[in-house]
Structure 1
């Protein structure tokens, strides 16, 4: 059974011949669609993703992220896989998985004074968001919330 799978993968690999060539740069592609994407988005197109540390430019956001993760230019941003945090606040270094969460943090939290105060049991807990206050009260002051 393993031999059959190996044979199948070998013959499949042989069918991917790069028959489509870019006339501008000479890169080759297996499909006409890939060549078209290359010509539209890469070849002779000014890269739009720039590293703020070393000013190197990249055509794709993923390549910039990989560059940042490598630490080549001394930039501190970590590379993130699908389940890691990708967006980093430059003010406080908090990390977020989604760009919208970082934007909300910058708008409502970063640099702001805490506006939610726990008023239970002479507690001094203060936070910038209501959900954190509710979580605190449920964990620390559950005896007051049961009544």
Structure 2
């Protein structure tokens, strides 16, 4: 048996409602209007029409604002980018997105001249100059310049890791950390040194690398005055003064200043040789040993 539906009924169906997971009719979302008594600047009481959402009962002074709000329930995104086909609920969001493709950055910082594609980015940036951190963690009292950073930080306390890598399944608390992690799989190194051309997966690594070229050593030891180009090198050096060796081998009990030294040491116990020569197949415990070995093959080629 075939179900007969009037064509006017079909035209009345507009979307699959993501709020209630059901197919809805236009009539389900027809807004209601009501008159609200408000006071103007002079204190005179006036009546103003309000447009109410039938789903969550929120009221709006303009019908256009209500129509945009309804898209949060329907999931409708009528404004599509003709470059990458990403869709948006509002035309203004599409306009902001297009600046990614055009490179336009119309909002400039009056302090340092840095430009941004959106005014919200500029507002966040300005807090780096003012030092303002209005969003505080109620657990540890750390403060942040914007709300999204606080939200990500709170996951450290809750243990929530909502961003999963689809390639290896490892989960992360912050989306930015996931993006950096995925570069391990893709091999992407988007940050390049203008001096020597070396590339890096993270901008912070490039910044550290640049100290090699500039000779800058911003991290100083308060004990002996030695300076270092990275904070990690300073931390390693300080342990030479304290005698601290926090990384212990579970096989023999030997302790090490650096975690990397412990990892190399454990290969004595496990027999692991992760560095293989692609020419003859010999394997080595350390990368430096492999590099020395490869010189045998380069000498052989030069003798031919």
Larger radius of gyration: 2
Structure richer in strand, relative to its length: 2
- TM-score if structure 2 supplies the norm length? 0.18
- TM-score if structure 1 supplies the norm length? 0.32
Structure of greater relative contact order (alpha carbons < 8 Å, 6+ residues apart):
1
